[in-house]
Amino acid sequence: MIIKILFLISSLSFASFGNFLDKPNIIFILLDDLGKEWISCYGGENIETPHIDKLAFSGIKFSNVYSMPQCTPSRVCFLTGQYPFRNGWVNHWDVPRWGLGYFDWKINPSIARVMKSAGYKTAIAGKWQINDFRIHPDALIKHGFDDFCMWTGGETDLTSNEHSLKSDQRYWDPYIHTSEGSKTYKRQFGPDIYNSFILDFISNHKDQPFFIYYPMTLPHGPLVHTPLDMNASTKLEKHKAMVEYIDFLTGKLVNHLDENLLSERTIIIFTSDNGTAGNISNIRNSRLIKGGKMKTTENGVNTPFIISWPGHIPSNSNCDALIDFSDMLPTFAQLAGTSLEKEYEYDGVSFVEVLKNPLSPSPRKWILSMGSHPGVGTLNGIENTHRYRDRVVRDKYSKVFINSIGEIEKLVDLSKDLNEKNNLLESKKYINEVEKFRQIVETFPKIDNDPIYTIIDDYPIYREGNIPSKTHKK
């Protein structure tokens, strides 16, 4: 689907939200590798997340929101409002660790720039990993953020293994990049530093609208003990401690907004970039759920998604509207009363109407997820592993799996088959469903874009880089 988004924003479209002369603050919390099975309000067992549960009770809990299957494709989709096949970041790529290329602010859309154009103060804290701050220390400023506090992402240094090791630390003794440069914060816990930065930013800008992108490093490995559970030692104990610390930090953020009388002026979106790591399982609603990171099954891409905006949207609500990560940019732009950058093409659809009424019809007929596993370093830069990456598309009840030559190879009925085991592709009962999805698939480009950036001579290469362009593609 190619959607060109035209914004004709009128005050009438926000009538049910009250006075929009004051633009709402927006905080987007993005967890790193956590599925619904580890959040108690989503039916997760063996875990307590009271602050997240309270956040859900104060707003809307969504059931059909798609991320991409892994870190890089999810994050770039969120930042650009474009699917991976359009923005080019189909595969995962750790820029500071592997080098070769970068996320180019000059030729890609930016959610932060859009919010800044609407008069918002903008900030980010946590994980980025798609620019190398040694080469571009002001990359986040150029992407549109006024201030930042970031784990550097693990910086490979071929001359100093010591630097490679210290910059890999995101938790204890973290190596963090701010406007003052990069350094190790001895005897401190990284998630506390990112959280404190955000609370300070809120305090300093509470009299003007702000947009905060909060990509937590938790609970991605390496699994560690936390300040609230210093005795966690096993894999499962550490993972649970890290999830509980997410809950603790979420509570601190919400309490800070309350203390500064900002809760009714602030929209909080709480979600994750993909499912839990595959070696971690939990019980959800009496079903054993294995972590689905890097998979296109529901445990990998149907992410927890909660929105809270006290006094403006219904509380204690559930919503089954179809939403995916490409929708954040147009939605935030509409809430801010601004337009998207006109020189780009977008895939997202605003879901503002759903916030007014969670039972209203979904603004989308279908959602998509695709991408994962590392890309390939070539003589022409970072390229994806496939010409056309396999993907999934679903509507409210049916879902198709599309292979790497653009053919539908499986259809499942999610209303009857939570495990996605029964292939109904040849069933006469679903012939119309198959044809509907085939028409959707026909709208996709036949070849996915590779990452789009300006080549810089002598840009460091730490992984491959000598393969002839396109020759590896499947």
**Residues 154, 97: contact at Cβ < 8 Å?**
yes
In whole angstroms, give the CA distance from residue 92 to residue 78. Answer: 14
Residue 372, Ramachandran bin (φ over 0: left; ψ between -120 and 50: alpha; else beta): left
Q: What is the pLDDT of residue 125?
A: 98
Structure tokens of 214?
Answer: 């909060």
Q: What is the pLDDT of residue 18?
A: 41
Structure tokens of 129?
Answer: 């990993």
Q: Is residue 448 part of a domain?
A: no
Q: Is residue 407 part of a domain?
A: no
3-state helix, strand, coil in the chain (%, to 5): 30, 20, 50
Q: What is the pLDDT along the chain (474 residues), one digit of tens a residue?
A: 444 433 333 333 343 444 444 799 999 999 999 999 999 999 999 999 999 999 999 999 999 999 999 999 999 999 999 999 999 999 999 999 999 999 999 999 999 999 999 999 999 999 999 999 999 999 999 999 999 999 999 999 999 999 999 999 999 999 999 999 999 999 999 999 999 999 999 999 999 999 999 999 999 999 999 999 999 999 999 999 999 999 999 999 999 999 999 999 999 999 999 999 999 999 999 999 999 999 999 999 999 999 999 999 999 999 999 999 999 999 999 999 999 999 999 999 999 999 999 999 889 999 999 999 999 999 999 999 999 999 999 999 999 999 999 999 999 999 999 999 999 999 999 999 999 999 999 999 999 999 999 999 999 999 888 899 999 999
Residue 282: strand pairing partners:
289
Q: Is residue 207 part of a domain?
A: yes
HEC readout, 182-230? EEECCCCEHHHHHHHHHHHHHHHCCCCCEEEEEECCCCCCCCCCECCEC
Give whole-number Cα distances, 339 to 198, 214, 330, 378, 458, in Å.
Answer: 26, 23, 8, 37, 37
Residue 324: strand pairing partners:
66
CATH number where 117 lies: 3.40.720.10
Q: Is residue 433 part of a domain?
A: no
Q: What is the pLDDT of residue 22?
A: 75
Q: What is the pLDDT of residue 376?
A: 96
- Domain assignment of residue 118, given as a range: 23-365
SS3 316: coil
SS3 341: coil
Closest CA to 184 of 196, 192, 176: 176
| Total of domains in the chain | 1
SS3 113: helix
Q: Is residue 414 part of a domain?
A: no
Cα 346 off chain centre by: 17
Q: What is the pLDDT of residue 221?
A: 98
**Residues 193, 251: contact at Cβ < 8 Å?**
no
Q: Is residue 52 part of a domain?
A: yes
Which phi and psi (to 5°) does residue 357 adopt?
Answer: -145, 100
**Residues 132, 459: contact at Cβ < 8 Å?**
no
Q: What is the pLDDT of residue 466?
A: 84
Give whole-number Cα distances, 4 to 73, 134, 402, 432, in Å.
Answer: 21, 36, 24, 27
Q: Is residue 5 part of a domain?
A: no
Supply angle C-alpha 152, 154, 158, rounded to 5: 120
Q: Is residue 185 part of a domain?
A: yes
Q: Which residues contact 431 (CB under 8 A, 6 or more apart)?
A: none
pTM to 2 decimals?
0.95
**Residues 123, 212: contact at Cβ < 8 Å?**
yes
Q: Go through the chain and tell me how many residues it has.
A: 474
Closest CA to 286 of 397, 413, 418, 420: 418
In whole angstroms, give the CA distance from residue 469 to residue 379. Answer: 6
Q: What is the pLDDT of residue 203?
A: 98
**Residues 120, 211: contact at Cβ < 8 Å?**
yes
